[in-house]
């Protein structure tokens, strides 16, 4: 149960919820194994669940028709797919296929909605989180600030306090919530920022911005 709470709590959709509500949502989840090449979700099909990857990789394909799909993104451990199906009744907007064997947590729509009905305050908290995400997205669109994860990391790090030697101490879980990505995605992009020379790692969880 603890691992489900940790994984679910890091998702952008639920990251602003109180711990008690995250625990109730996590209790809906079941661990599943997915074989390589399995189609988890089909574009145009009803959305009946969301899946959170614990291990493995999936590809997301979209197109005007099933015969004209092209790969638009990949998702890895710590990422979720199909999460909006918990909140709406629209058909799937993409096909999701496992490109490796995967382990995941699956939350079915009916289980999630049962928890929401039994906990009305959770519905209100979800609405607040969703509206905050919408407000942030609208602000980014109107100001032209569509940033990559790497750019967001740099922007946020520039605002963090440093010690007397100019070193930043990072809480990756908290930073991932601020960036709006999973902890695993943050870690991958931190490595990219370090490799680019914009950030120097000086110890475990400690970095210095390149001058």
Beta carbons within 8 Å of 101's beta carbon, 6+ residues apart: 33, 34, 35, 36, 56
Burial class (CB in 10 A: 0-12, 13-18, 19+), 4: buried
Q: How far apart are CA 102 and CA 79, in angstroms?
A: 12
Mean pLDDT within 60-82: 85
| Helix residue spans in the chain (DSSP H) | 2-9, 19-26, 109-118, 120-143, 149-157, 172-179, 183-195
How many helices (H) and strands (E) in the chain? 7, 11
| 113 has a pLDDT exceeding 80 | yes
Above 70 in pLDDT, residue 80? yes
Percent of the chain with pLDDT over 90: 25
Structure tokens at 114: 């049962």
- pTM (whole model) above 0.75: no
**185, two tokens:** 């995605």
What's the token pair of residue 113? 């909605």
Residue 105 has, within 13 A of its CA and on its CB side, a CA count of 23
DSSP state of 150: H
Q: What is the pLDDT of residue 150?
A: 80
Name the fold adopted by 2-140: Jelly Rolls (2.60.120)
What does the pLDDT read at residue 1? Answer: 63
Give 137's pLDDT tier (boundaries 50, 70, 90). Answer: low
86: exposed, middle or buried (Cβ count in 10 Å: 0-12, 13-18, 19+): buried
Q: Check if CATH label 1.10.10.10 holds for domain 149-209.
A: yes
Assign 193 to helix, strand or coil: helix
| pLDDT confidence of residue 151 | 81
According to the model, what pLDDT value does residue 36 have? 96
Mean of pLDDT over the chain:
83
Domain boundaries, the chain: 2-140, 149-209
Question: Which contiguous run of DSSP H or E holds residue 89?
Answer: none
The predicted structure's pLDDT at residue 105: 94
Fold match between 2-140 and 149-209?
no
Do 16 and 129 touch, CB atoms closer than 8 A?
yes
Chain segment 143-170, per-residue pLDDT in tens: 544 467 788 888 888 877 778 888 888 8
């Amino acid at each position: 149960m603890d691992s489900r709470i940790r994984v679910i709590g890091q998702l952008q959709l639920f990251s602003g919820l109180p711990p008690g509500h995250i625990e109730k949502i996590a209790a809906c989840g079941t661990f599943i194994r997915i074989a390589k090449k399995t189609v988890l979700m089909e574009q145009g099909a009803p959305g009946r669940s969301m899946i959170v990857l614990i291990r493995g990789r999936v590809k997301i394909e979209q197109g005007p028709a099933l015969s004209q799909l092209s790969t638009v993104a990949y998702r890895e451990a710590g990422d979720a797919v199909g999460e909006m199906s918990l909140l709406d009744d629209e058909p799937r907007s993409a096909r999701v296929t496992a490109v490796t064997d995967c382990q995941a947590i699956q939350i079915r729509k009916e289980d999630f909605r049962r928890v929401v009905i039994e906990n009305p305050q959770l519905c209100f908290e979800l609405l607040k989180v969703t509206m905050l995400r919408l407000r942030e997205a609208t602000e980014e669109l109107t100001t032209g600030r569509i940033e990559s994860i790497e750019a967001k990391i740099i922007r946020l790090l520039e605002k963090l306090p440093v010690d007397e030697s100019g070193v930043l101490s990072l809480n990756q879980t908290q930073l991932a919530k601020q960036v709006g990505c999973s902890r695993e995605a943050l870690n991958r992009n931190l490595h990219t920022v370090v490799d680019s020379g914009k950030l120097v790692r000086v110890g475990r969880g400690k970095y210095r911005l390149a001058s």
